[in-house]
Amino acid sequence: MKILANDGISDLGKALLEAGGHEVSTTKVAQEALANTINQEGFDAVLVRSATTVRKVVIDACPGLKLIGRGGVGMDNIDVSYARDKGLTVINTPASSSQSVAELVMGQLFSISRFLNDSFKNIETGDFSTLKKNYAKGVELRGKTIGIIGFGRIGQCLAAYALGVGMKVIAIERKARIQPITLKIAGQTLEVPVKVVDSLLEVLDQLDYISIHVPKQADGAAVIGTAEFKRMKKGVRLVNTARGGVIEENALLEALENGTVAAAALDVYENEPNPLKALIAHPRIACTPHIGAATLEAQDRIGEELAELIIAFAKEQKA
């Protein structure tokens, strides 16, 4: 197969595919030239991350395309159902980046609890007396309650980290249950039961921290908006590494101004790659540019999983 990895692929993934007899191009093609390039170069498969979209117009324009691959979890940048209805195979790598995203969330939790993002911006002033007063009201994670909205692979991985630093965990998902979380510490394994509830509104006033791990909603509605902010505990801290749009951004800014939200950390935005300026300039919002899965280890796992899936697909095609 001839494969266009338009948003890149790890060296390991590329090597595995080439060892399997496939040709891989990592030359970046502009979105507007994607369909023409696929047709002109005769690509059988296109692999994307979050930068490239594969919508109906591309699918219709590329009759020779057999496979679309997404290196990561969410596939809202691909018209998945339409592609499958047209006979294309669509794959992704939902398990490969869980740990990387969970570790970014933990870093963000520490950052917004101790003003790390804003103090870094302002330390060049050299006015330590004022700065120490400005950042004197940090809080500790231990003993606080975190609500994890969406309790799939990433949510459960985050729960293990949060439990490890002494936080209390409440998960929110459609199906209420008790979910055992496995902690591996110093060669020992421990299982901790986590309560999963099916109503966000019922637990919002109990949460000191909230982290969101759900896909973009089919109807485009926000998971957290004005109504949810009104139910939150004063001084809550909020993290979103899921998808832009699951938090109503203007409502978040209002909640920061009225003191409902003490701080927030965002890795995703409604208008990427041009986020609302009021978000990235806000002193109590820590911003990162959609880097949840951007670790060397995750990229190797993603590349390896994509390679395995593509090699298996090619063998099925020949059978």
Query: Residues with catalytic annotation?
Result: 243, 272, 290
From the CB of residue 114, how many other CB atoms can be counted at a distance below 10 Å? 17
Q: Residue-wise over 245-255: b if at least 16 C-beta within 10 A, else e?
A: bbbbbebbbeb
Q: For residue 301, which phi and psi values (nearest 5 degrees)?
A: -65, -40
Give the Cα separation of 98 and 298 in Å (integer): 8
Give the Cα separation of 63 and 66 in Å (integer): 8
* The pair of three-digit structure tokens given for residue 86, joined into one six-digit string: 């047209």
DSSP letter assigned to residue 171: E
Q: For residue 139, which phi and psi values (nearest 5 degrees)?
A: -130, 160
Amino acid letter, 112: I
First to last CA, the chain: 15
Give the Cα separation of 205 and 146 in Å (integer): 11
Give the H/E segment covering residue 16: helix 11-19
